[in-house]
Structure 1
Amino acid sequence: MLILNADMGSSDGDNNDGITILDVTVPRNPAYCFVFLNAEDVLPAMTPLTAAQYLRSYYPAPKRPLNVDEMTQMSSEWDCLEVIANLDDMPLIPIATLAKLVTYSTEIDAFRRQSVLSADDMTRLTAVLKGATHPNAVVDLSRLPLTANQILSVLEELRDFKRLDVSYSQAVDNRVFLHILRTYKSLMWINILHCPISMDDLKELMTNDPQRFRSIETILHPAFLTGKLPADFPKAFRITYITNDWPRYNYVTLPFFSADQLVQNIFDILANLHSSYRMPSLATVASSHLAQGQSWYDRAIQIVPGRNLDDDPSTRSYDLLPYAHQKEGYQLVVQANCRGKPYGILAPMAPEQSEHTDSDIIGMDSFLKRLEDEGYPATDAAAVKGLLELCANMELTTMEQVLNIKRYLH
């Protein structure tokens, strides 16, 4: 298998200047087109082509209808018809959209080839980025020769964005990163790969300012892509599953979360308590929030949660006792081993409380109210309503039940 460079030009390599473009801006309604970068016979260059137009430039349609025997002998024609039919119901990317894409890519690439950007360059860059914005667009500042002040200046102009890519930017250190999190509350996704931010930097930020990591779903950084964060790394949310299997206590941890994401994923966990032996899938625990109308299959999973199944067997703890004194974050406990499968949210202890004091167990309504009081409310009203209705029919566990599971095993 030949693996090509992801940054290679569209017409480089073994390619006759024909490319495929997919628009997955709205995952449930993708669009496509084929494009020749240079004119090909009677087909124009840089024009969106349908599957039939593109394919027939390589495999011309038969000059007359073929009978069954002839079609059987010409297997390539069967293949052509099948490919064309598969794309019949997918819309073609309009030429206006294609023109914007080409203009945007050309101008951004030109900026990336410069060593510094002048004031005039910054004005033009901001205008280009504004022209490409829509609710789910990624503000792409990756690989641009920007200073920290220039980055913050551009973001100040754009304001309401949800996704930001500053990868490969040496100007984005832990100070700039924290400023971005503090300033842009609508930010849900940020790429800081290859920025000068270490795991120790993240640990310090999340220890000293944990509230800033209660409204974001994705931070693309190597630390969050392995599921093996150090034991002393801050934990924003923990899900503990008490099962009939060994070890009795299984858990996964999230270093950050958004309230809407958590509401959705807790609902999926509690609504599907079918087994007393198995943890919920990591896809359920860590998936992104879905907008109304999106299906489960549209979810993005861009973090690997920590879990005790990855612990060293020689050091693995099978006792929940250390986590009954919740010092940081919140913890959802699900007693899948008990009749009715009760649940509870363990709240973090106040700083002045003794470490020998058990955490309070609160219900879902109290938990969501606390998130709201902390400044990070869940905004998906329909999802909140569904979760509260589900929990209203579930038993709230007690600390006695949690710490004495043998008595309650069935």
Structure 2
Amino acid sequence: MGQRHQVFLIARVAAHNAADTAARYRCVGAYHHQWCYGRLPLIAARRFITLVKQKDNAEIIREQLQSIQGKYGLGKTEPHMPAIPCPYPTFLVSSAFCIDLEAGHAYGSGVSFQNSVLDANMGSGDGDNNDGITVFDITDPTNPAYCFVCVGGLEGEVAVGGWTPLTAEQYVRAYYPVPNEKQKEREGVKETEEDVQKRIDALSGERLMTLDMLAEAWPHEYSAAPNPTKDTAASNSSTAVPSLADLTLRPAVEHAIKVGETEELEGLVWMPGKADHMKSVLRSQVSFPDSGLSLLAKVLEHEAGSTSNTIDLSGLALSDSQIHSLLPSTGADKIELLNLSHNPNFTVDILRTALTLYPKLRRLVLLSTAISDEQIHQLLVDEPKLFYSIEELVHPAFLSWQNDVCYPVSFAYVGIHGYGVPSSACLATFTPASVVQSLTDLLSPLAELGEYEMYGLLGTSLAPQVAFASGVRGEGESWQDRRVHCFPAFNNAPFSGKGWLFVGQWETMSQSGCRYGFVQTDLEPDPPRATIYDLAGFLKEMAAEGRPPAAESAVNKLEKIFVDLEQRQEAKLWTEPEFVTFTGKFTMYNMRRY
């Protein structure tokens, strides 16, 4: 039963110890959806493409793709490709195809990530399928490609060709043929046709995959064209011809660093485009020379003043002592984003210094550094107050799929939804602002949707994970354009330690007994203990801990949602006996989690 559809991610990946070292298309992620057909794959494809193009998300995707280059053998050659080689973009696919929390357009479907993710080594037609597949090329996430494929017949009105790339229009017209004028007179037909065309148009500017790309990814399923057209769009999409001035800038910067005379170049930093080109040259230094620090400091000063309080030290081979000398000169009192990625010299000691120096730091990016998962875990345990201002901690430790959380949890959402669906989402770091926004995104649909729509949202345990993975958005930023900074893990035993929880029990419209509350736990096996707070009480405790406050307008919006939930679903704050009963109920339901 169902309208079964699979989604595949492919990218150019070099094989391990292959005679031919060229990167070739391979599947790096696969996902199953039990009910996705007609317009739904087009809508989901638009959501996914928007997500991967977001620059901060694209940076993480590129990092995960780079991490598997040359690592796995082809086919059955060892070492074997794991089932989920790139968990972050696979999580983005699950988010796009199963959840939409955009205000006024909320949608939920599917079950859990664990029970829907597929083995990336499978064939594109090996899934339980009756409504085709969607394939994305994410080699260059800023310029992805897509196609749909009929791999075993579509349950639509019109037959389409199998095992060949289909455009959005070709796929959706199998379900919704263009109506004639007489058919448009029927109730709802004209409105449906307008919506179908809207979904087609939404993908009209996106790159379409070719048969040759599919044949390279799955050579046993697809036959390449006799004269294949090489697809170069992914690798050359951002290529630009440098100006003569820029061509002369590189040798000038290299010479100035070599002789230790950068003052003249420092005066050019403020000219349009010069800082970016200078930084590119500085990034090419294998071992960063002290003679380049003064020029780099000027470049960073320029960036901090023109890019919304950001310091980007990624790709610079700086030593701890060099970073230590640079950081105080970068306007520490206003920096909110710090990127220290791609520096093999970067250590926990300098991380501790950076966290101490920047009191307003909200986003910290640590991709491809010397800091191991274990080291970041230990720092979170030993010195949690260092992270009290951090909303987004981007590190590989928090970007992989885990069946049960293995990192220190500072905040977790725990819930039972609908007819007994256990849900959980664990964060290593949080602020009141990030929690308020995530709860607003997750709960506002429950106060607005009809029972049918709410059933879909409450039926998937993915919804809290998707909501709490989102970065805090600024005024006017939409849900669709959000940053996704982590892959929140499920916690199979959320009440066994100390920490902050938001615990919710959300029933469908036909049921009662909705409960919620912020809970500070210190639960012993017998008897368990917990302190329960409403939103105002939680925020008061956050202020006492020294965490930065959430915006008053955001708090008021969430307060109104709780009022609406009380009026509509009789939602009430937990009592301690009710909460203790819930802990046992969650454990029971979690044992049969699907």
Please classify the TM superposition score into its range, dividing by the shorter chain length.
Answer: 0.5 to 0.7
- CA separation of 1:112/1:243 partners in 2, compared to 1, >3 Å: closer, same or farther? closer
Partner AA of 1:167 in structure 2 = S
The CA distance in 2 between the partners of 1:115 and 1:278, in whole Å, is 48
- What is residue 148 of structure 1 aligned with on the other side? 320
- The change in CA–CA distance for 1:208 and 1:266 in structure 2 (over 3 A counts) is same
Q: Which residue of 2 aligns with 1:191?
A: 365
What secondary structure sits across from 1:404 in the alignment?
Answer: helix
TM-score, structure 1 normalization: 0.65
8 Å CA contact retained: 1:328, 1:349: yes
* Change in CA separation of 1:236 and 1:161 when aligned onto 2, cut-off 3 Å: same
Greater CA drift, 217-226 or 267-276: 267-276
Q: Distance in 2 between matches of 1:269 and 1:148?
A: 41
User: Cα distance 1:244–1:290, how it changes in 2: closer, same or farther (>3 A)?
Assistant: closer
Matches within 5 A, 1:206-285: 206-228=380-402, 231-246=405-420, 248-273=421-446, 274-275=454-455, 277-279=459-461, 280-285=463-468
Partner letter of residue 579 of structure 2?
V
1:296 paired residue among 453, 469, 479: 479
> 1:399: Cα distance to partner?
3.1
Q: Displacement, 1:151?
A: 0.9
Partner of 1:381: 552
User: Cα offset for 1:109?
Assistant: 2.4
- Aligned residue for 2:490? 307
Q: Using a 3 Å threshold, how does the CA distance of structure 1 residues 181 and 120 change in structure 2: closer, same or farther?
A: same
Secondary structure at 1:290 match in 2: coil
Per-residue CA distance 1:180-208 (angstroms, 9 max, x = gap): 12221222222212211111111111111
Q: Does 1:336 align with 2:509?
A: no
The code of the aligned residue for 2:434 comes to: Q
Partner Cα distance (1:232, 1:4) in 2: 29
Distance 1:231 1:264, change over 3 A: closer
**Which blocks of at least 5 consecutive residues in structure 1 are unaligned?**
6-22, 27-81, 84-94, 309-316
Identity, in percent, stands at 23
Counterpart of 1:43?
A: none
Q: Is the 8 A contact 1:324 1:359 kept in 2?
A: no
The aligned residue for residue 404 of structure 1 is: 581
| SS at structure 1 position matched to 2:573 | coil
* Residues 41-99 of structure 1 deviation map (CA, whole Å, 9 limit, x = unaligned): xxxxxxxxxxxxxxxxxxxxxxxxxxxxxxxxxxxxxxxxx98xxxxxxxxxxx9xxx9
Asked if 2 retains the 8 angstrom alpha-carbon contact of 1:25 and 1:137, the reply is no
Aligned-pair distance for 1:296?
A: 2.0
The structure-2 alpha-carbon separation of the partners of 1:372 and 1:343, relative to structure 1 and needing over 3 Å to count, comes to: same
Give the 5 Å matches for 1:24-63: none
Q: Give the deviation of 1:284 after TM superposition.
A: 1.5
Change (3 A) 1:305 1:24: closer
Equivalent residue letter for 1:268: D
Distance 1:136 1:172 in 2: 24
Instruction: Name the CA shift for 1:356/1:244 in 2 (closer, same or farther; >3 Å).
Output: same
Deviations 1:301-339 (A, max 9, x none): 12100025xxxxxxxx5xxxx5445x3221111111362
Asked if the contact 1:25/1:136 (under 8 Å) is kept, the reply is no
Cα distance per residue 1:153-199 (max 9 Å; x no partner): 22211122222221122332112112212221222222212211111
Residues 1:377 and 1:392: Cα distance change in structure 2 (over 3 Å)? farther
- 1:202-242 CA-partner distances (Å, limit 9, x unpaired): 11111112232332222222111113286453111111111
d(CA) in 2 for partners of 1:104, 1:288: 28
Shift of the 235–348 alpha-carbon distance from structure 1 to 2, 3 Å rule, reads: same
Alignment partner, residue 347 of structure 1: 520
Number of residue pairs aligned between Structure 1 and Structure 2? 306
Structure-2 change in CA distance of 1:145 and 1:232 (3 Å): closer
Counterpart code for 2:479? W
Q: Report whether the alignment pairs 1:287 with 2:470.
A: yes
Could you tell me whether the CA contact under 8 Å between 2:424 and 2:464 is conserved in 1? Answer: no
Pair 347,220 (structure 1): closer, same or farther in 2 beyond 3 Å: same
The letter for the 1-side match of 2:329 is E
Partner Cα distance (2:407, 2:286) in 1? 37
What secondary structure, in the 3-state scheme, does the structure 2 residue paired with 1:347 have? Answer: strand
What is the root-mean-square deviation in Å for CA atoms of aligned residues?
Answer: 3.4
Q: Classify the secondary structure of the residue corresponding to 2:414.
A: strand
Which secondary structure state, in structure 1, belongs to the residue aligned with residue 477 of structure 2? Answer: coil
Query: 1:214·1:256 contact (CA, 8 Å) conserved in 2?
Result: yes
Query: CA separation in 2, counterparts of 1:212 and 1:114?
Result: 31
Provide the secondary structure at the position in 1 that maps to 2:408: coil
CA contact (8 A) 2:413 2:464 kept: no
- After the TM superposition, which residues 57-72 of structure 1 pair with which residues of structure 2 at under 5 Å, given as runs? none
CA contact (8 A) 1:277 1:336 kept: no
Give, in whole Å, the separation in 1 of the partners of 2:398 and 2:271.
34
Task: Quote the offset at 1:127 in angstroms.
Answer: 0.7
Matched letter for residue 250 of structure 1: S
Taking the TM superposition and a 5 Å limit, the aligned residue runs for 1:78-117 are 102-117=273-288
| Amino acid paired to 1:112 | R
Report the Cα distance in structure 2 between the residues aligned to 1:401 and 1:359, rounded to whole angstroms: 11
Conserved 8 A contact 2:425-2:490: yes
One-letter code of the match for 2:390? I
Contact 2:505/2:514, CA 8 A, preserved across alignment? yes
Deviations 1:3-33 (A, max 9, x none): 499xxxxxxxxxxxxxxxxx9899xxxxxxx
Greater relative contact order structure (CA < 8 Å, 6+ sep): 2
User: For residues 134-173 of structure 1, what are the structure 2 equivalents within 5 Å?
Assistant: 134-136=306-308, 138-158=310-330, 159=332, 160-173=334-347
